[in-house]
Amino acid sequence: YDVSSQQHGRPTGGDSGALGSQRSSQSQARASRAVLGGGLTISSLPDNMTRVVEDSGKYYTWRSFGPEDQRTGDLWVDMSDVRRGQVRVHGILSNSYKQAVRLALSFDFPFYGHYLRQITIATGGFIFTGDVTHRMLTATQYIAPLMANFDPSYSKDSTVQYLDNGEVFVVQWERVRLPGKEAAGAFTFQAALYKTGVIAFSYRDIPLPLDVMGSAEHPVKAGLSDAFMVVSPSSQQTIYEYHRVELDTTKITNYSAVEFTPLTTCLLHDSCHLCLSSNQTSGCSWCNVLQRCSDGMDRHRQEWLDYDCSAEVRMDISSYYLCVSHLNVFYDRRHLFSYVKTDSSTKSEGLANSAVVAGIAAALVLILALVLVALYINFHPTAASPLYLIQVSFS
């Protein structure tokens, strides 16, 4: 793939003669354009380190929907609906073969816990999400509703269009065809990236089963993948794929859809306490030097190694106590405040209890006095004092 960072659009009202000459000049430009970031080695992690498990449920959960499901219609973004936002038909992508263009998003899109602000749209039915562009764009770090050897330049009806309204970024491959299989029909599908991190693949026209779409020139994939790059002491750059979601291609048919829901990852914890105690994640470790929570398998792998965070986690003192020692000032102040509050509360409670006891004692003394007076009057009715009390009572 040739990669460009330029953005070009064309009106949606069809092709023109200028576009025909544009295709010719683009072909010449592709022949002489240097590919960015060449010389990278693409590799997979050893089996004991890899996260390439389709149903691991560590980063995403997903559901497939068929033609009979209402959710299929809800996930499809109607690009002709002006209420959705301004739709742009990309001139380069719509008139090129094996071309990719880098675009900026209007919002931070969370992907595997990393926030992306730029993506690369390819004519081959996928979005490249890596920071370093290289010859093997199709190998790792992609969002692929249907990665295949599509050629939008075959017909003026074939377009690659997109919209970004601040809440969702949608890419639609409209009526694209496969070289050598043009007569089989055109493919129309889209990928929607929501600000929340939700990803939706929607399919309208899939004229061929995916198992017969493969070619030696281009892989056929549907799903997600992410990787990290590590630089060796000899300056050799290697990209390791640490997780991949591979969809069941038999479920990708006309009027079908897939919805991915992101799960909480270690990277999203911004404090040591959450990193080590959250029940939403597992295997997280806190690196005090970087002030970052990670399981060591993400795009920040190089920094994790450079600052020896793995050694910090392996120390005899547990990570939890490292966390507490890092926050000991906060804890000490909180406990000190708690102690002072407890002492003052005890004094207040003691005063209140004393007042209650005194009131009860006074009431008992008064009752006892009245009882004694009543007994005295009962046994000495003719005494002067009782008569006086009776006279006062009835006066």
Residue 289 domain boundaries: 268-326
Residue 249 has a CB neighbour count (10 Å cut-off) of 16
Residues 365 and 168: their CA atoms lie apart, in Å, by: 80
Sequence-distant (6+) residues with CB within 8 A of 379 are none
Per-residue pLDDT, 225: 94
Among 211, 230, 263, the domain-final residue is: 263
Sequence-distant (6+) residues with CB within 8 A of 151 are 97, 123, 158, 176, 177, 178, 179
| This prediction's pTM | 0.72
Among 263, 283, 305, the domain-final residue is: 263
Per-residue pLDDT, 238: 85
158, part of any domain: yes
| One domain for residues 388 and 290 | no
| One domain for residues 133 and 44 | yes
341, part of any domain: no
Per-residue pLDDT, 31: 29
166, part of any domain: yes
Beta bridge partners of 3: 100
Per-residue pLDDT, 200: 98
| One domain for residues 45 and 159 | yes
| One domain for residues 57 and 101 | yes
Beta bridge partners of 62: 260
Among 217, 235, 263, the domain-final residue is: 263
The total number of structural domains that make up the chain: 3
| One domain for residues 252 and 274 | no
| One domain for residues 70 and 122 | yes
Per-residue pLDDT, 354: 65
Sequence-distant (6+) residues with CB within 8 A of 149 are 124, 178, 179, 215, 217, 218
Residues 25 and 39: their CA atoms lie apart, in Å, by: 27
321, part of any domain: yes
Write out the E strands in 20-167: 41-44, 60-65, 87-90, 99-111, 114-122, 126-128, 142-147, 159-164
| One domain for residues 167 and 53 | yes
Q: How far is CA 88 from CA 80, 91, 109, in A?
A: 11, 9, 20
Residues 121 and 142: their CA atoms lie apart, in Å, by: 10
Residue 64 has a CB neighbour count (10 Å cut-off) of 17
| One domain for residues 273 and 379 | no
Give the burial class of 15: count Cβ atoms within 10 A of its Cβ; 0-12 exposed, 13-18 middle, 19 or more buried. Answer: middle
| One domain for residues 228 and 280 | no
Low-confidence ranges of the chain (pLDDT < 50): 7-39, 46-55, 316-317, 328-347, 386-395
215, part of any domain: yes
Residues 326 and 324: their CA atoms lie apart, in Å, by: 5
335, part of any domain: no
Backbone angle region of 175, left / alpha / beta, with phi > 0 → left and psi within -120 to 50 → alpha = left
Per-residue pLDDT, 376: 66
Tens digit of each residue's pLDDT (9 = 90 or more) over 324-365: 555 544 444 343 333 333 344 444 555 555 666 677 777 777
Per-residue pLDDT, 356: 63
| One domain for residues 74 and 207 | yes
| One domain for residues 29 and 132 | yes
230, part of any domain: yes
CA 286 from centroid of its chain's CA atoms: 19
Inter-axis angle of helices 328-379 and 319-326, nearest 10: 80
| Residue given tokens 């992410």 in the structure block | 226
What does the block give as tokens for 219? 């892989």
382, part of any domain: yes
| One domain for residues 131 and 176 | yes
